[in-house]
Every structure is written in C-alpha cells, then in structure tokens.
Amino acid sequence: MDGLVQQPQQPLTGRFTPSSQGDLAPSGERSRIHANLHVIRLLRELEEAGRPANEDKRAQLARWSGWGAVPNVFDERKSEYAAERAELMELLSKEEYAAARRNIADVAADGRVYAGDLYDTLHGRVDVLVLNAPYVPTEEIGLLPAEARLHGPRVALDGGADGLDAQRRVSAAAPLWLAPGGHLTDRDEPAPGAADRRHPRP
C-alpha cells in the first residue's frame, strides 16, 4: 500500500513530535471532523495491512482530536453534518459508534472540560469524583508493554515511587471538593472480590 512502511516485521518505534500547532488538530468544526475521519480511515488501513505507521502517517495520525469538541457530528438534527455522520457510521462498528456517541453525551451533559493540575480548575462541590490517575510505579514503567512505554505520555503513566502519588493527593483534598454524602471512586479499582490484575506479581 502506498506510503506504508515496507517491512511488516519492523517494530513500532520512534515517535512523531509536533513542531507547531499546524501539526495538530486543525481548528474549525468541519476541519476537525474531517481530520478525525481521515485518522480512522488511516488506522483501518494500517490495521488491515498489519504494518506500523511510517513518519508521514504518524504526522497524519497526530491530527486526531476525538469528538469532544465536535459533538454536532452525532446530532441527527444537524443535517449539515449528515454526510460526515454517515461516513463515521460506516467506518465504525455499531458498538464503536454507540460508545463514541455515549461519551459525547456524557461530556455534553455539562458541556465543559476542565484542564489543570488535579483540583486546580474545579469550582464548587461535586457529588461524584471518578479518578483515573497514573498508577504505575516509576521503576516499573520500563516493564510496560511497548505501546504504553513508547507512546504513552509519561504524565499519564508515572504514579511515583509506589504508583500512588496522585491517589494520595486526590484523597487528601477530596473532602474539600465532595458535597456532603459524595463519593470518590477510582476507575481502576478492581471489582469487589476480583483479583487485581493491574500489577501481577510473581
């Protein structure tokens, strides 16, 4: 396939580093949707070919930005996005499309995304805090599967010496942020009675 790396056995190494905003998601709703659709198409191609992305393809993949900023593509009342919606439905399985749509519905319930260091950007009190913080002990990062080790941002993985730095900070400040009777839960907590397989030990 044109432009794909020619050696199927070549491991997925190296990373694309954006050098300017122009290397990331384009601005504008329609352009973002088109960039996202392109990335899904490209991923399908790569998966089918069973090959890693070469440098050029990685640069294209970096233009992905997800659907949070462009929820209108899922809104059937928005006929201006009918063609893009149809294409997305064709590219994704029914389950994948439903999951993406569900995620957007969750975001749209509040309509805002807060970005910042833990609680810094939150205002007021919340009923439920769901934590999905980094939990890998620093020294174990090297043992992670290649896709996480090579491509996961350090900030998403590194949980400090015992992997619980963020959890400690969140628990310590949770009483300030939880409404009376509120709950703090860790998305990665194993279900009651289930073995914790996140860090299997010999």
Ligand X SMILES: C[S@@+](CC[C@H](N)C(=O)[O-])C[C@H]1O[C@@H](n2cnc3c(N)ncnc32)[C@H](O)[C@@H]1O
Q: List contacts with ligand X (CB under 6 A).
A: 117-118, 132-134, 155-156, 166
- Minimum distance, C-beta of residue 91 to ligand X, in the bound complex (Å): 21
Nearer to ligand X, 49 or 156 (CB): 156
Nearer to ligand X, 118 or 179 (CB): 118
How much helix, strand and coil, in percent to the nearest 5, is found in the chain?
A: 50, 10, 45
- Minimum distance, C-beta of residue 157 to ligand X, in the bound complex (Å): 7
Per the listing, tokens 């070919």 go with: 49
Helix (H, G, I), strand (E, B) or coil at 136: strand
If we measure between CA atoms, which residue out of 193, 134, 127, 129 comes closest to residue 167? 134
- Minimum distance, C-beta of residue 200 to ligand X, in the bound complex (Å): 18
Q: Record the tokens describing residue 60, joined without a space.
A: 């294209």
Whole-angstrom Cα distance, residue 119 to residue 174?
9
CB atoms closer than 10 angstroms to residue 92: 16
Nearer to ligand X, 51 or 104 (CB): 104
Helix (H, G, I), strand (E, B) or coil at 116: coil
Nearer to ligand X, 48 or 117 (CB): 117
If we measure between CA atoms, which residue out of 65, 40, 60, 58 comes closest to residue 151? 58
- Minimum distance, C-beta of residue 56 to ligand X, in the bound complex (Å): 26
- Minimum distance, C-beta of residue 188 to ligand X, in the bound complex (Å): 7
Nearer to ligand X, 98 or 118 (CB): 118
Q: Tell me if 70 sits within 8 A of 31, measured CB to CB.
A: no
